[in-house]
Structures are given as structure tokens and as C-alpha cells.
Structure 1
Amino acid sequence: MLKTALRNVLAHKARLLMTVLAVTLGVAFVSGTLVFADSSTAAHRAAVSKDYADIAVTVTPKDPPPGAPGAAGSAGGAGGAGSAGDEHATVLDDGLARKLAGLPGVAAVRPSADGPATLNSSDGTPLRTGRIWAHRAAAYVPGADGKDSRHPLTEGRAPRDGEEIAVDSGTAATGRLRIGEQITLATDGPAMTKRLVGIVTTRDTRVTAGGTLVLFDKATAQQLFASPGRYTSIDLSAVPGTDTAELARRVTDLLPADRAEATTGTAQAAQQAVLVDTLTRGNEKLSLVFAGVALFIGSFLIVNTFTMLVARRTREIALLRAIGATRRQVVRSLLWEAVLLGLAASVLGFLLGLAIASVLPEILSTTGDPLPRGPLVIGPLPVAAALAVGVGVTVLAAWLPSRKAARIAPVEAMRAAEQPPTATASRVRGAAGALLLALGAGLLLSLAGAKDASEENLRNAMFGCALLVIAVIVLAPLLAVPVIRLGGRLTGRLGIAGHLAHRNALRDPRRTAATASALMVSTALVAGLAVIGHSTGQALDRQAAAGLSADYVISTHTSSAGIDPAAVQRMTATPGVRTATAVTDSTLFIGGGVRQISGVDPAAAPSVMKLDFVSGSLKDLGPGRIALSGTLARANGVRTGDRIDARIGGPGQDRTPYTVVGVYEDNPTARDALGTRTEVQGKSLEPGSVQRVLVRADGGADGGATKDRLRTATGNNPLLQVQDRRELVQEAAGSLGTLLTLTYGLLAIGGVIAALGIMNTLAMSVSDRTREIGVLRAIGMDRAGIRRMIRVESLTVAAFGTLLGLAAGLFGAWTVGALANGALKGYSLALPWDTLLLLCLVSLATGAVAAALPARHASALSPLEAVAEL
């Protein structure tokens, strides 16, 4: 029987190729998705992680140096003048570095003067603004050989004075920066122009995963991020065998206790691990969701293929039984075939999956927010999944139908190649499908009253959607006949070819349903996510429209920077600008919580904000008087005219009794509370700073030209962003947009898998119907008619899968919408008709493309040879 299995594998090369292709694609989809998910998660972790592998101890100042991010009183604002001062200078200088180098157990000392810096690309637009937190700047500190081992030069030379910089190769390539060009950049204040003199490489994963790196000469970096002659940190590496805790104690004894502190690299790595786990937890959960989808679609394709394969070999199995093979031998023979095919296809599929995982970051990245980059991470899970799908699922897929086929009596199997399901089996299928449908739909409908998108509610929603999809798959063979019959009139207009295609689709409802199911799953997921994404975008758009009358918002990328008042004046004088109103944002400590307060000019605010007051008005705003949003007022139980104790700004301020002069409907532009700009500026962490400028343009002004002039008014400062209403909505969508991009990309692969599954099924169908096609050719049907018949049959199957997918996806989006409504005020179901229409066209095109090769093969059959074939 082993020899028989080997001969069967090699005897039918076309069937072998189609089966291997099905298993290979299933394995590729699963392993590629898992490798991509692991690699993407590792890249996200690397993008926010510093490598402490060779750092034994780090010495840092206890108070942030002047000019560094987060330091109080940092001079200058974005778009204005100012530089870091040297008062309160830290003790981290070359003298301390030499003392640390002389300690027992210290192998090397690496002082650093670093901080954030954002650059403009060669076209003047800010570079990689989606990863502002990964923008690094440091000093080029040469060693005894005149080179900085941490930043090897690949082109040009190191910066020598304050007018020169070097950048990493990735930043240079992304921004199209060339040696000798003038580059605009900013740290925490004004825009600067420096000449690019060198390009370096770096092993800093925060940079290689999607950040940027700017290198200054040591004196300039010290002036920008610390103070002249001082550093922001000093890293120490240890002699092998040195106890790092003991080394940290020696370093601490050397340091002034009130000015600096020492931390081991192990402790820093542990602290960082907690932060990184928090930041990347969502990516890890997302990878599990995609892995589950990939496993389902890939496994379904394999099961479908082998079920049809074994069913079509019923006569062959009967012949083996007739010449003496036992049931166990027949089943074992088929299982050996499955093992051999599964092993070979697993290797091919895993290699193809690696190729898919390597190109997905390029495909799914957007210009403004590219996915973090990093090497492929091949862990044990993708390998195990490849074998589980390629071998395990293949063997299981062969075992179930082979047992059923082996139980058929030889004479009965020789007489009829196809065994339609019994009435009892159909009733059992219908009852099981109805039960699953009731459970899934009931669970989803129970979420209609959900008031938030808690993790438990999201888990229930995912489980309900999974039950719904499985129920539709179980019921698909029963739904195929009535649904496809509805399209009979349409296909009948295509003549005899259309009529035959319609009858072929109805001939075996189980085959039709199985073929359409993979496409149905992809369509349901894409349709559901598209509806949720579109509805969320509409809600965000309504929020922006409800709270914003301004046409443009100029704001800082980080809360530590401010907009220089001189830049505000330039914006006011910009041609095409009707009104430019500055807003100061700060924190408000009220009722035991921390909220956001916006400092505005009461006279100018109504022209740029849409404020709907429930009670009171903005005109009464003044010193000691604030207005609250409806949510904040209800949370603290206050109304207009009441007094409440609150504190604006940092810990240096005292709580003050404020009179509530008005309560307004929640407004994202106004934030949680409103005060006068003068009062908020005086008490904020950055006294006198401005965080936003709301601009109202003239009615006839050119939007693009006005936006360019506003950016020029900011001095082309890369720390400032000039956004119109559409860009504000996109930013508000944030992670949702990234999720949809990733999902659409991965499900596009699922669509390809579904298309090849349809092609595989049709190819097998053509092979099984060789004599039938020969008879059709013999009685007069030409090759074009044969091709048309196969294409229409494929389109019928694709339309059936698309219809079921749309129904499941829309129902799921409608029920899950309650969670979004709880998390996002104003959410309501909105159908993206253009996207849904495009999805239908793509699904039908998938069926047409999948039919191309089988149709060509069918039309090429010789009538006499086909009729004579057994």
C-alpha cells in the first residue's frame, strides 16, 4: 500500500501540483502572517528600546539640565528664538568621566550629550512625523583614533563646528538628503539650518526601526542638550567578571549625592521592559487575531481541497477494495499520501511565507507613518504552525473523507462516483448551523446595550463574530441551492453556456459552498472593518466639525515645546488668513483628577471654535473664572455659578477657588475646560507659551497656497504641524487607520488565497468532467462556449461567497457598532458604499481571474480523447 501511495502521488502530476499548491498557499499564509506579526512586534519593541547589553552602569543628573525635554524654564519656543542656558549646570563633565574611568572594574566610559531633534526632508516637509518620539540627536564623540565607534562614517566626515551635522543612512535615504545640502531642523525651540557633512550607520534600534539620528559636534550638542562642557549621561561598561551592583556602589560613592545618580544597566533594562510591554501589547494581541484568521483560511483551503480530492477518487478506492485491500489499508494509503504531500508543501510554504513577511512592511507602510523596520524574526511558533497546517491539517483533511469513502461498499462506489448527502445528514447540518447562528447572533445582539469597549466586551464581540462566520459556513451548502437559483435568470441570458454553468454550480452544493467559503470569510472581515472604520471616521469628522470653525490648526508635535509669539504674529499677517487665535494648553487638577484646560481669548474664540453652551456664556470668562465641559461638570456635580477648587499647571501652583461661568457641550477643540489665555499661560509648566494657533482663512483663498504660506510663517519649523480639517480627522483616527491598513493588507493575501482556492476547485472540477466536456464539444459547443461556461460558473461561486460575506460582515458591523458608540460619542452606522462596491467588484474579478486557467484547459480538450477517457 505504501508503493501504491507513492505511485498515486506521482501518477497524477496535475492533481499533485494542484494539491501541493493548495497546501503550500495555506502554509504560506499562516507562517507568513505569524513571522510578519512577530517581526513587526519585535520592530515596535526595538523602536522604543535602548540597547543596554554592554552598559553596566549609567550616570545621569538628578535634575534635567536646562534646555532638555521636560526641564522647567527651557528657553525658547518652536518658531522663536532661544537657546539652552548654562545655569544649574550638571556635574557630568570630562573631569568626572576621567574619575569614573579610573574606578576598578570599569572597562570604558562613554559620555553622551543627547536629546530630541526633528528634521525636514529635502522638500521642506517634516521627516517621519509619525515617530516623533524616535527622533534622536547626539554628539559625535571621537575616541583616541579620531572616530566615534558608535557612529561609523560611511560617507563624508564628522561635524566639526556648530554649523555642521551628520545623519544616519536611513534618515538620509528617506529624506533624500545629500552631502553639502542645507538642512532645516529643530530640537525644542527655533528652527535651525545646518550643512550636512557626513552620513553614518548606527546600531541603535530606535533609529533603525524607523526613527532618525542627527549628530552634532560635541560642543554644539552640549550647548543644545546640557550646558557647555557638560553631558546628559555617562555610560560605563565593565570588565568581564565584575559585579555590576558593586560597581554601581563604587560609582555612587564618587558622585555628589544631590547632583547625580547611578543606575545599573540591568535595572534600566527591567524598567524599559515594563514600558515596552505596555506600548506593544496591542501589537501582540493583533498578531494573534491575524494568526487566527490566517490559520482558519489556510486550513479551510486545505480541507476543502482534500475533501474534494478523496471524494473524486471514490471509484479508485472501490477498485482497491474490490481487489482485496482492507478499509484500514485504504485509509493508511491516503494518509501516507497526505504526509508526503504535507511535508513537501510545508517546506515550500514556509519559504514562500518568509518572502511574504519580508515584503509586507513595504506594502503596508504609509508615507506619514511607516511601519517600524527590522529583521525577520523566525521563532518556534511559525515553524510549528507550518508543520501543523502543512502536515497536521493535511492528514486530518485526508483522514475524515477517506474513512467515509472506505466505508462505501465497492459495488456501490463503482456504480456512482458521487454520493449526495442523506436527508439525515442535511437535517443535522441545518440544526447545527442554526444553533451556531443563534448563539453567535444572540451574543452579538446582547452587546447592543454595551456602554464601553472594555476588553471583556471586545472578547465577546470577537467570539460572537467567529460563531457567526462558522454558522454561515456550516449553513452554506443548504443556502447554496436557493441563493444560486435566484441568479438563474441572469445566467440563463448567456445562453446554453450560462444555463450549464448554473446547473454545474447547483450539482454539488457542498463543493460550491466549500469553494466560496474562503472568499466569504475575507469578504466578511473586509466589509465589517470597512463599515466600522468609515463610521468611526464620520464620527470623528462630526466631532471636528462640531468643535472647530477654524480651517487650519498649527500645533506642536510634543507638549514640551511651544510656539513663539512672534510666529503667531507672522501667521496673523499671512495673506489669505482672516483670523489667527493662539491657544495655551495646560493641565487642570480638579476634583481629584487631571484634565486639560485651554487658555483662550474670550473675544476671539467664538470665531474659531463652535461652542454650544448649555448654560452661561464665554463672555463672562476672566481671572478666577472658568467654563467646564458637560462631562466634567457632571463628574464634579457643579453648575453655572458654582465655585470649585482647582489648580492649573505644575506642582508649584496652589489650588484656587474658581467660579464656573458656563457649561458647554463636550468639544475636542476646547478640551475639558476653558480659561483666559493670560491666566493659563501664567500658571502653565511653560509660562508664556502657546501650544496651538487656530486659523480662519478667507473664503476665496487657495487652501494649498494658504497652508504653504502658514508653514513659511512658522519658519518651516519641523516641530510644528500645519493641519487642515481632513488631516486632523486622520490624526484622530490614529491607531484605527493603522489597524485598517494592516487588516486590509493581510486580508488581501487571504483574497489571493481564496482566488487560488477557486481556481484549484475549478481545475479539479474540469478534470473530473473531462468526458462531460468532451460530449459537449462533440455535440457542437465550441471552445469559446466551454470557456464561457467555466467562467460563469466561477463568477456564480464568487457571487455566492461575496453575498454571504457581505451579509455576515454588515450584520457584525451593525451589532459591534454599539461598542464603538460607547467608546466614541456620536458614532452611528454609516455604509461606505464606494468601498463596498469596490469589494464586490474585486470579489467578482477574483472569480473571473480564478477561472482563466481552468477555462483554457477545458477548451483545449480534444472531443474524441475526452469522450474516450475513463
Structure 2
Amino acid sequence: MFRTALRTVLAHKARLLMTVLAVMLGVAFVSGTLVFTNTVSEAFQKSSAKGFDQVDVAIQPKTRKSTGDTLGKKPELTQPLLDKAAEVQGADSAIGVVGGFTAIADKDGKLIGGGFRTQGGNYWGTKDIRYPLVSGHAPKGAGQVLIDSKTAERAGYKVGDTVRISIDGPVLKPEITGIFTTDDGNVAAGGSLALFDTATAQRLFGKTGVYDEIDVKAAPGTSQVALRDALDKALPKDVASTITGEKLADDQAAQITDATSSLRTSLLVFAGIALFVGTFIIANTFTMLVAQRTKELALLRAVGASRRQVTRSVLIEAFVVGAVAAVTGLLAGIGVGAGLRALLGSFGDSVPDGPLVISPSTVLAAFAVGIVITMLAAYLPARRAAKIPPVAAMSSVHAKATTKSLVVRNTIGSLFAAAGIATVLYATTLNSTDGQAPMGLGAVLLIIGVFVLTPLLSRPLIAAAAPLLRVFGIAGKLARQNSVRNPRRTAATASALMIGLTLITGLTVMAGSLQIAIDKMAASSIKADYVVTMANGNPLSPDVDRKLRSADGVTTTSALRFASSRIDGETEYVMGVNGATFTDLTDLTVDSGSMKIGGAQIVVDEDTAKSRDWHTGSRLTASFEAGHKQQLTVAGIYRSTAMMRGIILDNATLSAHASHPSDLQVMVKMSDGATASAKSALEKALGDNPAIQVQDKKDISNGISQSVTLMLNILYGLLAMAVIVAVLGVINTLAMSVFERSQEIGMLRAIGLDRGGIKRMVRLESLVISLFGGVLGIGLGVFFGWAAGRLVGTQISTYQLVLPWGRMAVFLLLAGLVGVLAALWPARRAARLNMLTAIKSQ
């Protein structure tokens, strides 16, 4: 039986090749995803571990235990604390570290290292072994800076050049006094690092006299744990906490693993979809092969082979096919992993140098997926073949599906579909967080239900195409009859295409609706012409607002400033604005009172007011970060929007209680509105700063939608794999149909149907099956898009369902094109059949 199975595999090379391709695509995606994520994770982990080589123990500010502890004076690492740490027994040296976001512009004024956080910090001097100097000398004062060697190489900088740098808004133009090397993970991954002398760094980063961290190097013979214990005894417990360098490296490695695991999960989901679709093709292929060998298997049964041996013979074929697909898929997956790494770099996100990581688990996963999926898909055809009585098989009497089996199938499908619809509808009544799991479960149940019901749905839906097929004469009539002759096989083929189009349509509906919602959100709450922010989302310096107020053409500005406060025992975040100009820059609906903001008068959004039982005229006491208290009065209650919500008070009031005030954004109104010259004037007033972006309403909308569009395009690319697999399925189904109807095709040729008519018949059959799958997929996609939109609507008030009729029409046309292309080879094969040989074939 083993030799028989091997001969059978080699006897049907063309059809088995399509099965190998279907399985190989899924295996390649799975193994490529594992190679890519393992490579990225290990590269970052090794890079981060190098960054902690010179840190035996790190001293950090004590972490607050509760939300209420965020108010009042925060623990600080001061110079006396550093001196004390350096004198602890077992300590060789101690370095104070301070840093933050630092944008470096290249010679064309563009931001360097935009893919990762671009950082700045302090240089401790010639004893700072963290950053060995390659050339030049240490910086002194605000007019000098060091930059890392990779940044210098990329931008073409050298010692003595002037570089444009921004910390939180204003542009600095220090001289490059030196270039250093570093193992810092961000730099290795495409970021940049600028170093100032310690006093300058503390001043620029708003941390005068204090440090973010103190790194202590152990003396020879002292372990990290022993040094940590000694520091714990010597340092005040309410101010500082300690952690070993090994623990820091392990924690960062864990964070990197967590970050890559989410990416891995997302990619594996789409690999699973491709495999799920491929399962239909494998089952169809083996059904076709078994059908071709019905008499052969019956003869084996007649000469003594048992049902188990027949089943085992087919499963051995599946094992061989799966093993070949696993090997080729693994090799292709290694290429996919390398390609994804290069693709990441093309988006501006570099990865630290390192080899591709092909772990044993990746190899095992590839073989498990390839072999197990193939054998599972082949089991039912094998079992069905073994059940056919030898006499019936040799007489070409094939068992048809009984009425009872169809009733059972339709009942099960209806129950699954009903349960799926009910679960999805229930999920739409929940919020976006609680509704995700029920929504996913309902989608799976509904897709399974529709798949099971597809044979039942195929007859009426395909019958609806009869008037169009009549135009093609007898070929069209035969195509319609052939497409419903074996509804189970037709349904399995259409379902493969249906799943891909369901996901593509659902994503498109969501993306189009989100774009409209984003446009409305950007325009509904602000009247300002421009919004100025940091490119990386960091706070702006208050100097930015002052510079904008004096810029040409500016009539009104308001900085948006956030701070933490404690009101009636609960923590509340408040937003500071320019109370005198706020109503000129925003468009908010007031439910009661007025938008009069200034002094002790505040306005509150309706949700906050309702939850705290506040109303116009309510008085409350707020405690701020610096420990100060302020009596406030609610002047009005407004309706919140996606961009404006919470407690709003005047910046003058808020700034009096903030230790280091900073702005998240500045709204600007121009005398001539939003024009190209107005935007240029604002950028020039800010020194053409690469770290600051000046956006009008359209820019804000485009900025948000770009990420949506990019993600959508990536998902389209991933789902294209499922569609490719579905194409192979259509080819297999048509090839099976041609084989089963060889005698019939021969008779049609004999009574006058020419080769062109045969080709037309097969192509129309393929077109009908593909369009049937396309209609089901688009219908389900619209339903899922609507349901998912209901969840999104709980977070974005401007969201509303928008159906992309144009794109859906394109998807349906593409489904038809899939059918036409998939029919090329089977139609040609059917037309070339010798009519006499075909008539005698059965």
C-alpha cells in the first residue's frame, strides 16, 4: 500500500502541484512570521544588553504607589545623593544620567532617526566609558554638542560643523565638538543621540540640579547584588530605589518580546486565514484524486485491502504532499522573513544588525503546519473512498448525499449562523473594549454557519444568474447546470473566495467610515486655522506659543496645557487654555452656563459633570502637582468631542501651580485663514524646526488617515495570499469538473459543440462560482463592517457607516476576473479532449 501511494503521488503531478502551492503559501507565511519576529526580537535584545554593560546598579526615583501620590513634590535624585552613592563600599564610580527627546536635523533640515525615539543626554567627561570618543573633545556650555558616529555618517556631519537641534520647540545651533560610538539600542536601530555637558543637559531638559537615573559601577570583586544591597542600606528608601544592570537588561528584553509578540500574533492570524482557505483546496484535490481512482481503490478492496488500508494509502499521499510543502514553505518563509525585515527598513524603522534567526521551533512549526493541515484535509475524502462498496465503485455507482444528511447539514448551518448573528448583535450593544471578544466569536460562528449553508444557498443565487447566462446560448445554460451539479464542491470553492472578500470588504467599509469620521472630528470642534505640535507627540516649550503670538498674520493663539489635580479625593486631569481667546478657536456646544474661562472660573464636559454631580455654579477645591490648592467655580457645562473634553481652566491659573509648564499643542488663527504663505510664515517664525509640525484641519485628518491607509494596504497585501489560494481552489474544482464530465464533453463535441463553445462553458461555470463567492463575501463584509463600526462609534462620536459602493463593485469585478483567469487551463484542457477517447472513458 505504501508503494501504491507513492506511485499515485507521482502519477498526478500537475494537480498535486497546486495542492503543494496552497499549503506552501500558508507554511511560508507562518515560518516567515516566526523568522522575522525572532530576528527582530533577538537583535533588539542583544543591542539592549550591550547598552547595560557599563551599569552594575541603577538608582531610580522612588515610584509612587497610588494615584493620589502623583500630587505634591516628587522624589528627586540630587547631586548629594550621587556623591553618597559613589562613596558606598563596593562602588567604583557613579554617573548621573539625564536625558529626553532631542531632534537632530540633517543638512537639508529633515529630522534624523524619525523611525525611533531620537534622544539626547549628558556626557560625563573623559571618564564616561559609555560613549567613547572617536574624534574631538567633550562639550562645554550650551553652544557645543556631541553626536553619535552613525548619525554623523548618515548626515555627513564632522567635528566643527554646526547642527540644528530641537529639545521641546526652540531651535538650537550648537557646534559639534566630538563624535562618539555607542551600543545604545535606539541608535543601533536607526535613532540618534546627542550629548551635552551635564549642566546644559539638565537645563535643556528642565531638570536643573537633578538626574533621571544614577548608574553605579561596581569595584572589582563586587557582585551586582552585593552592590545593590549596600546601596539600599545607604540611600533613603522614600527617595530612591535600586535595580541591577542584569535586571534592567532582562526587563527591556521582556518589553521587546511583548512588543514583537503582538506583531507576531497579527501576522499569524492572516497566515491562519490562508491555511484555512487552503484546507478547502486540499480537501477538493484529494476528493478529485479519489474520484479518479474509484475503480482502482475498489479493485484493491476486491483483492483483499481493508478499509483502513485504503484510508491509510490516501493519508500517506497527503503526508508526502505535506512534507514537500513544508520543506519548500520553510525555505520560502526564510525569504519572507528577510523581506519583512527589509520592508520595515523601507518604512524608516531600521533593525539592529544581526543574522536571521531560524530557531528549531520555527522548523517544527513549519512541518507541523504543512503535514498536519494536509492530512486533516485529506482524511474525509480518504474515509469516504474507503466506505464505497467495491461492486458499486467498479460499476461507477457513486453514493449520493441522502436527504437526511442534507437536512442535518442545513440544520447545523442554520444554528451556527443564527448563533453568530445573535452574538454579533449582542456585541454591538457593548462598549469597544467589552465587545471585542463577543464580536470575534460571533464572526467565527457566522462564517462557519454560512460555509455549512453554502450548498443550500448556491442553487437560488446561481439560478438568479440564469437570465444573463442565456445570452451565451447553450454554453451558458450548460455552465449554470454544471455549477450546481455538485453543490458541496461548488460551495467549498466559493467559500474559499468568500472568506478573503469578507475580510477585505469589512476592512474597506471600516476604513472608509473612519476617514469620514476623522474629517468630521477634525472640523467639528476647532475653528483654529492651524494646530502646532511636536512631531513625536512630546510637550512643547511655552516659548513656542510666545513666538507664534508675534508671528506675521497671527491674530489669536491658545496653548493647550494638561496637568494632574485632585478634586474631592479623586484624581482629575485638567486642560489649560487661553481663556480670553478660547471661544474664537473652538466650536463647542454649551448645555448650560457659558464658556467664560478665567481666574477661578472653569467649564466642564457633560459626562464629567454628570459623574461628579456638578452643575453651573458648583464650587470645588483642586489640589495641584506642586501641592497648591485653588478654589474653582463651574461657569458652564459643554458637550465633549473627540478633541475637547474634561475640565478646562485658564492657563494663567494652571501655570501658577505647575513646576514645569509645557504645552501639548498650540491653536493658531490667521488673519487670512489657512493658506500656503500663512503656513510658511508660521514655520519660519519657529526657525524651520524639523521637530515641530504645523497642521491645518486637512493635515490633521490626513495624518490620522495615513496610518489607517497604511495598515489597510498591509492587510490587503496579507489577504491577497488568501485570494491567491482561492484561485488555486477554483482551478482545482474546474479540473475536477472536467474530469468527471469527460464523457459528457466528448458527447457534446460529437453532436456539434465546437471547442470554442466548450471553453466558453467552462469559463462561464468558473465565472458563476467566483461571483457566487464574491456576493457572499461582500455581503458578510458589509455586515461585519457595520457591526465593528458600532463598537468604534462608542469611542468616536462622529463615526457613521459609509458604504464604499465603488470599491465593492471593483471587488465583485475582481472576483469575476479570478474566475476567468482560473478557468484558462481547465477550459483549454476540456477543449483539447479527444471526443472518441472521452466517450469511451467511462
Alignment TM-score, normalising by the size of structure 1:
0.82
Q: Which residue is equivalent to 1:594?
A: 571
Residues 1:388 and 1:868: Cα distance change in structure 2 (over 3 Å): same
Q: Is contact 2:35-2:337 (8 Å) kept?
A: yes
Residues 1:278 and 1:363: Cα distance change in structure 2 (over 3 Å): closer
Q: Which residue is equivalent to 1:67?
A: none
Superimposed CA distance per residue, residues 702-733 of structure 1 (whole angstroms, 9 cap, x where no aligned partner):
3x454343222222334422223244346667
Residue 710 in structure 1 maps to residue 699 in structure 2: no
Deviation at 1:663, TM superposition (A): 0.6
Superimposed CA distance per residue, residues 268-313 of structure 1 (whole angstroms, 9 cap, x where no aligned partner):
4576578778877865764664465355334344334333333343
Residue 605 in structure 1 maps to residue 590 in structure 2: no
Amino acid corresponding to residue 514 of structure 1 in structure 2: A
Deviates more, 1:295-304 or 1:392-401: 295-304
Q: Is contact 1:597-1:671 (8 Å) kept?
A: no
Q: Which residue is equivalent to 2:605?
A: 629
Residue 136 in structure 1 maps to residue 119 in structure 2: yes
Residues 1:9 and 1:483: Cα distance change in structure 2 (over 3 Å): same
Residues 1:845 and 1:727: Cα distance change in structure 2 (over 3 Å): farther
1:661 aligns with one of 611, 620, 635:
635
2:433 aligns with one of 439, 454, 458:
454
Q: Is contact 2:77-2:211 (8 Å) kept?
A: no
Deviation at 1:590, TM superposition (A): 2.9
Partners of 2:677 and 2:840 in 1: how far apart? 75
Deviation at 1:431, TM superposition (A): 0.8
Partners of 1:410 and 1:116 in 2: how far apart? 78
Instruction: Within 5 Å, give how 1:825-836 maps onto structure 2.
Output: 825-836=797-808
Partners of 1:196 and 1:219 in 2: how far apart? 17
Deviation at 1:547, TM superposition (A): 0.9
Q: Which residue is equivalent to 2:67?
A: none
Residues 1:584 and 1:529: Cα distance change in structure 2 (over 3 Å): same
SS of the residue 2:794 aligns to: helix
Amino acid corresponding to residue 773 of structure 2 in structure 1: G
Partners of 1:48 and 1:534 in 2: how far apart? 40
Superimposed CA distance per residue, residues 624-673 of structure 1 (whole angstroms, 9 cap, x where no aligned partner):
111111111111111112212223x414222x221111111113444312
Q: Which residue is equivalent to 1:556?
A: 534
Superimposed CA distance per residue, residues 107-132 of structure 1 (whole angstroms, 9 cap, x where no aligned partner):
x988766443123455534456575x
Q: Which residue is equivalent to 2:666?
A: 693
Residues 1:224 and 1:622: Cα distance change in structure 2 (over 3 Å): closer
Residue 388 in structure 1 maps to residue 362 in structure 2: no
Partners of 2:725 and 2:179 in 1: how far apart? 43
Residue 422 in structure 1 maps to residue 402 in structure 2: yes
Residues 1:206 and 1:750: Cα distance change in structure 2 (over 3 Å): farther
Amino acid corresponding to residue 166 of structure 1 in structure 2: I
2:109 aligns with one of 124, 134, 148:
124
Partners of 2:103 and 2:522 in 1: how far apart? 28
Residue 56 in structure 1 maps to residue 28 in structure 2: no
Q: Percent identity, please.
A: 39
Q: Which residue is equivalent to 2:66?
A: none
SS of the residue 2:620 aligns to: strand
Instruction: Within 5 Å, give how 1:823-862 maps onto structure 2.
Output: 823-855=795-827, 858=830
1:345 aligns with one of 325, 328, 334:
325
Residue 748 in structure 1 maps to residue 733 in structure 2: no
SS of the residue 1:822 aligns to: coil
Superimposed CA distance per residue, residues 416-469 of structure 1 (whole angstroms, 9 cap, x where no aligned partner):
37654222221111111011111111112223432x1234x3211111110000
SS of the residue 2:164 aligns to: strand
Q: Which residue is equivalent to 2:764?
A: 792
Amino acid corresponding to residue 90 of structure 1 in structure 2: Q
Partners of 2:495 and 2:562 in 1: how far apart? 52
Q: Which residue is equivalent to 1:84?
A: none
Q: Is contact 1:541-1:729 (8 Å) kept?
A: yes
SS of the residue 1:541 aligns to: helix
Q: Which residue is equivalent to 2:618?
A: 642
SS of the residue 2:576 aligns to: strand
Instruction: Within 5 Å, give how 1:14-25 maps onto structure 2.
Output: 14-25=14-25
Q: Is contact 1:515-1:797 (8 Å) kept?
A: yes
Residues 1:11 and 1:335: Cα distance change in structure 2 (over 3 Å): same
Deviation at 1:191, TM superposition (A): 1.8
Residues 1:536 and 1:425: Cα distance change in structure 2 (over 3 Å): same
Deviates more, 1:417-426 or 1:725-734: 725-734
Partners of 1:621 and 1:122 in 2: how far apart? 44
Q: Which residue is equivalent to 1:474?
A: 452
Residue 759 in structure 1 maps to residue 731 in structure 2: yes
Q: Is contact 1:361-1:373 (8 Å) kept?
A: no
Partners of 1:868 and 1:571 in 2: how far apart? 92
SS of the residue 2:282 aligns to: helix
Deviates more, 1:354-363 or 1:435-444: 354-363
Residue 308 in structure 1 maps to residue 295 in structure 2: no
Deviation at 1:320, TM superposition (A): 2.6
Amino acid corresponding to residue 432 of structure 1 in structure 2: I
Q: Is contact 1:158-1:166 (8 Å) kept?
A: no
Instruction: Within 5 Å, give how 1:292-307 maps onto structure 2.
Output: 292-307=272-287
SS of the residue 1:335 aligns to: helix
Residues 1:327 and 1:270: Cα distance change in structure 2 (over 3 Å): closer
Residues 1:852 and 1:377: Cα distance change in structure 2 (over 3 Å): farther
Residue 90 in structure 1 maps to residue 65 in structure 2: no
Q: Is contact 2:280-2:377 (8 Å) kept?
A: no
Q: Is contact 1:364-1:741 (8 Å) kept?
A: no
Q: Which residue is equivalent to 2:591?
A: 614
1:516 aligns with one of 482, 494, 503:
494
Superimposed CA distance per residue, residues 310-366 of structure 1 (whole angstroms, 9 cap, x where no aligned partner):
334323322333444332221121121112221221111122233334334655889
Alignment TM-score, normalising by the size of structure 2:
0.84
SS of the residue 1:646 aligns to: strand
Q: Which residue is equivalent to 1:464?
A: 442
Partners of 2:677 and 2:825 in 1: how far apart? 52
SS of the residue 2:587 aligns to: coil
Q: Is contact 1:92-1:230 (8 Å) kept?
A: no
Amino acid corresponding to residue 338 of structure 2 in structure 1: S
Partners of 2:706 and 2:72 in 1: how far apart? 30
Q: Which residue is equivalent to 1:584?
A: 561
Residue 804 in structure 1 maps to residue 776 in structure 2: yes
Across the aligned residues of Structure 1 and Structure 2, the Cα RMSD in angstroms comes to 4.5
Instruction: Within 5 Å, give how 1:151-190 maps onto structure 2.
Output: 163=144, 165-167=146-148, 169=150, 177-179=155-157, 183-190=163-170
Deviation at 1:527, TM superposition (A): 1.8
Amino acid corresponding to residue 493 of structure 2 in structure 1: T
Q: Is contact 1:41-1:283 (8 Å) kept?
A: no
**Aligned length in residues:** 831
Instruction: Within 5 Å, give how 1:394-405 maps onto structure 2.
Output: 394-405=374-385
Q: Which stretches in structure 1 are left out of the alignment for 5+ residues?
A: 64-69, 75-86
SS of the residue 2:656 aligns to: helix
2:627 aligns with one of 639, 652, 658:
652
Partners of 1:738 and 1:201 in 2: how far apart? 35
Residues 1:458 and 1:42: Cα distance change in structure 2 (over 3 Å): farther
Residue 356 in structure 1 maps to residue 336 in structure 2: yes
Residues 1:361 and 1:560: Cα distance change in structure 2 (over 3 Å): closer
Residues 1:368 and 1:500: Cα distance change in structure 2 (over 3 Å): farther
Residues 1:323 and 1:844: Cα distance change in structure 2 (over 3 Å): same
Q: Is contact 2:388-2:399 (8 Å) kept?
A: no
Amino acid corresponding to residue 585 of structure 1 in structure 2: F
Amino acid corresponding to residue 779 of structure 2 in structure 1: A
Q: Is contact 1:9-1:16 (8 Å) kept?
A: yes
Q: Is contact 2:538-2:664 (8 Å) kept?
A: no
SS of the residue 2:689 aligns to: coil
Deviates more, 1:367-376 or 1:405-414: 367-376
Partners of 2:732 and 2:137 in 1: how far apart? 59
Amino acid corresponding to residue 694 of structure 1 in structure 2: M
